[in-house]
Amino acid sequence: MFKTFQSWSRRRRYREGKTLSRFIARDVRREILIVSAARINEGFITGRVRTTNVLYLSRGLISKPEFEPERELRIEDLWNWTGHSWGGLAGGTSIVDHLHGRR
């Protein structure tokens, strides 16, 4: 019974053409445009990802990025963040480092 409910819930939440959005750090927002949900029962979707530091965007330090090319994504890993709790860039660096030529 739980599997049936989980399957119904996933099919409803991860519909093709829908864009999911969530903050994954205090200042980092991830958006996922769902391209295909054919393997939803196996725990995979095909989607395009866009991760944006909203503080950098609001201050005009970066322009709004485009979605990445489509790829297969595990549902369990959609909202994982490897950076610091206050965002920065995905590699754990800061835009300030890049602006001042530091690494």
Dihedral, CA of residue 20, residue 9, residue 75 and residue 33, to nearest 10 = -30
CA 97 to each of CA 21, 59, 88, 89: distance values in angstroms, whole numbers, following the listed order: 27, 16, 10, 10
**pTM here?**
0.76
Q: Which of 37, 42, 49 is nearest to 11 (CA)?
A: 37
The model's pLDDT over 59-74, given as tens digits with 9 standing for 90+, comes to 888 889 999 999 999 9
Q: Is the pLDDT score of 103 beyond 50?
A: no
CA distance 98 to 33: 28
CA distance 55 to 59: 6
Q: Which residues contact 1 (CB under 8 A, 6 or more apart)?
A: none
Radius of gyration from C-alpha coordinates of the chain: 16
Q: Where are the domains of the chain?
A: 2-99
The model's pLDDT over 45-59, given as tens digits with 9 standing for 90+, comes to 999 999 988 988 898
